[in-house]
Structure formats: C-alpha cells, structure tokens
Structure 1
C-alpha cells in the first residue's frame, strides 16, 4: 500500500512540473514572437515505480481460526498425553513402592515366623531336656532308694543270717561245755573262733578271759569237741561274702549263769 501511494505522488508531481514548464515556455515564446506557433507536443509521462526508503508496515496476517483451533486441540492433546504419562509414571512408582513394601513386610513376617518357630523349638527342647533330667533324677533317686532299701534288706538278712549262725555255733558249743567246779555264775569268757568254708574250726583264741583259767580252757575244749559246724558251711556256700565278712572270724561270749551256788 505504501509503494502505490508514493508512486502516485511521484506521477502527479512529474505531471505538474511538465505542465509548468510548458506554460512558461509557451508564454516566453509568445512575448518574443507574436507569431503564432504550433502547439507543442505533450510530454508523455511514464510511471516509474520508486521503492520507498522507509520500510512498509506489514499487514497483519489473516487469522486462521480453524488452524488455531486445531493447534489448540493438538496442544491440549499433547498436554493431556504428557499428563497421562506423568500420572502413569506416578502410578507405576506407587505400584512398585507398594510391591516393594509388601515384599519387605512379607520378608519380615517370614523372619518373625521363623524366629518364633525357632524359639518354640528351643523352648520345647529345653522343656524336654528338663523333663528328661527330672525323670533321670527321680529314677536315680528311686534307684538309690531301692538300692539303699535292698542294701538295708540285705544287711538285715545278713545280720539275721549271722545271728542265726552265731546262735547255732554257741548252742552247739554250750551243749558240750563242761564247766569246772571252780566256775561261778557271772564269769564271762570271750573267745575268737576262725572257720574255713567247710565249717571246720581252724583256730581259737581267748580274747577276754574270765579270770578263771579252768573255765577258759573248758570253753576251748568244748569248741574243739564240736570241730565242724554245718551251719557255717551252708552259709559259706549260699552267702560267701557274708561268710568272709562276718563269720570266718567269729567272736562269742560264754557266760556262766545257771550254776547252783
């Protein structure tokens, strides 16, 4: 638009200048020569387009509403897609975090379960060991009690057996014992007798005399008369330990009690 305006101004200016020059020329000639001269030819003006030095203002582009709407829709779609991807990424991270948290919780649960199982197993083991220990102690105490009882019974039986054998020995000796006239009631002679397992007497000794030599000799004489004691031989066969411990060497008391004074 600026180019056309300037071109039109230039054309008009040239035309005016041409007309002015023609008028001046014609008037000058008329004053100098009264002669009538033919009319001068008009100068043919040519339109010359001169580019203006000043820049022309750009006309605003025609707004393409359809294109703008399409661009807005495309931008909205792009933003929506970006938002969708962002939300999807956040959701993925959330799922991964939940999965990791669940896995960690499951691991801790398994560890706790394993720990509780081990603690329970250890508790059961200790209780079992304690029960076995108490049972062994009770059994040991019971066995010891039984052993003590057996030993006591054995001791009682052994004592009874020894007493029975001792009474039999003394009765057999007293049955053949002839007390001397010098003997008196209350006199006591303590004699040690050594036996062999066959029941035979192999040695006799006065452990404690009565103070009456004749009485003491009479006791030794009575022992030699009997010589073999079947009860001793039987005990040696059946209870050799008791024989060795308590009968092989026997000490008996012979007391004068039934004499008439």
Structure 2
C-alpha cells in the first residue's frame, strides 16, 4: 500500500512540474512575440462560384448537297480562270519576248547589211582611187617621158638651131664687115651695137643703133655697110628650111661691130 502511494505521489509531482514549466514557457513566448495589429471587427465575404466551362459539342449543320456542288464548281471555275489568265499572261510574255528577239534580229541583219554595203562601197572607192592613181602615174610617166623626149628634141633642135643661127649671124657680120669702111675718126675698141630686121627673102627692111660707140661717123658707117649688102642669102635659106628658127632667132638680129684692126 505504501509503495502505490509513493508512485502516485511521484506522478502528481511530475505533472505539477510539467504544468509549471509549461506556464513559464508560455509566458516567455508571449512576452517575446511582436505586437499584432487589431483585426477589423467586421469582415464581409462574398462567395463567388466559378462554374467550369465545358465546351459544348456543336451539332453538325446540315448542308445542302446542291449548294456544296455549286460551291465546288464555282471554286473550280475560279481556279480555272486564274490558270487561264496565268497561261495567257505567260503566252503574252513569250510573244513579246519572241517579237523583241525578232526585231533585234531584224535590226542586227539591217546593220550587218548596212556595214557590208559600206565596206563594199569603201572597197570599190579604194579600188577606183587606186586605179585612178595608177592611170595618173602612168600618164605622168608617159607625159614625163614625152616631155623628156620633147625637151631632148628641143635641145637638139636648139643646138642645131643655135648653130644655124650662129652660122647665119657670122655670115651676116662677115658680109657687112667686108664692105665696112671705118672713118678716120674711128679708134680701136669702139663698139657699135645694131639691130637688123629681115624678111624671109633675106632682105633687110630696117636697121637701128641699139648702143652707139660715141662716134657718130662710126655708127653711120656701120648702117651704110648694111645697106650696101641689103640681101643676105643665108638668111633666106634659113627662113625656107627652118621657118620657126628664123622667126624666133633671125628675123630680128642684134650684132656688135667693134673696131680692132686699125693702126694707131
């Protein structure tokens, strides 16, 4: 009996100690917790009920088969029209490109023909000029050759004519000096230059003093000697055989008569 009482006393003592520890602990926690704001006295709350939106299945509409077929036909026609326009545009583009190429080819052919014609024209013109140049050179060579022959012939003729003229002039002077009688007042070195005009028969038709000697008697003696001879056969012969030389060189003849053989 004492043993049971002792156990009960221990249990009661433990309970009391536990209660005391709990009270102490609760008091400390209450003092250490922060001060809380007072809550409002009245709180209004509204309950909103959200119903889950569940999609409702749509019932298939009844479509008229004739309408569906009409729609299909209209769509087909639209697509066919679009395709037709596309093909038409493509065909038009092809035609335009073909026409452009054709025009370009025509223009290229025209230019090629024009260039060919121009080249042919230039070739012919070049050939013509070359031909004219050759002909001109040939004519010039021929002309030069002929002129050279003529010059040579003229030179020969001139030489022959000059010799003939000199021969005739010498004969005229010799015949005049043969009958020339110098006056006493003449002196060696005096010179009289006389111009004599002939006709083709060799007859003297005029005489003139071109340059006097300073001695009038001497100048008159020369003219007197010419009139004494009057006709010169050598002149007539030259006029008959070489009329051109006669006209050019002898018809008008100028001779010098110088006094050289007098004794002082």
Using the size of structure 1 for normalisation, the TM-score is 0.52
Range 194-203 or range 174-183, more displaced:
174-183
Partner of 1:247: 250
| Aligned length in residues | 199
Structural mapping, 1:8-87, within 5 Å: 60=62, 78=77, 81-82=80-81, 84-87=83-86
Task: Map residues 201-212 of structure 1 onto 2, 5 A cutoff.
Answer: 201-210=204-213, 211=215
In 2, the alpha carbon distance for the partners of 1:128 and 1:193 equals 62
2:178 is paired with a residue of what secondary structure? Answer: coil
Match of 1:44 in 2: none
Distance 1:180 1:224 in 2: 11
Q: Using a 3 Å threshold, how does the CA distance of structure 1 residues 78 and 63 change in structure 2: closer, same or farther?
A: closer
Return the alpha-carbon distance in structure 2 between the equivalents of residues 226 and 63 of structure 1: 156
Q: Which residue matches 2:234?
A: 230
Matched residues in 1 for 2:166 and 2:230: separation? 14
1:188 is matched with which residue? 191
Contact 2:201–2:239, Cα closer than 8 Å, also in 1? no
Partner of 2:169: 169
Matches of 2:163 and 2:239, distance apart in 1: 12
1 CA distance for matches of 2:83 and 2:92?
14
Q: In the aligned structure 1, how far is the partner of 2:260 from the partner of 2:235?
A: 26
* Deviation, structure 1 residue 83: 5.1
Unaligned runs of 5+ in 1: 1-58
Once residues 127 and 239 of structure 2 are traced to their aligned partners in structure 1, the CA distance between those partners, rounded to angstroms, is 49
Q: 1:157 to 1:135 in 2, by over 3 A?
A: same
Whether the aligned pair in 2 keeps the contact of 1:201 and 1:224 (CA below 8 Å) is no
Contact 1:173 1:222 in 2 (8 A): no
Mapped to 2, the partners of 1:167 and 1:237 lie a distance apart of 14
What residue is the counterpart of 1:106 in the other structure?
105
Q: How far off is 1:258 after superposition?
A: 4.7
Distance 1:234 1:246 in 2: 10
Can you list the C-alpha shifts for 1:203-241, whole angstroms capped at 9, x where unaligned? 33333343262575256425643722335542465343x
Unaligned runs of 5+ in 2: 1-60
Name whichever of 192-201 and 206-215 sits farther off: 206-215
Q: What's 1:4 paired with?
A: none
Q: Is the 8 A contact 1:190 1:252 kept in 2?
A: yes
CA RMSD of aligned residues (A): 4.8
Task: Work out the CA distance in 2 between the residues paired with 1:230 and 1:179.
Answer: 19
Alpha-carbon shift at residue 253 of structure 1 (Å): 0.7
Q: What is the TM-score normalised by the length of structure 2?
A: 0.51
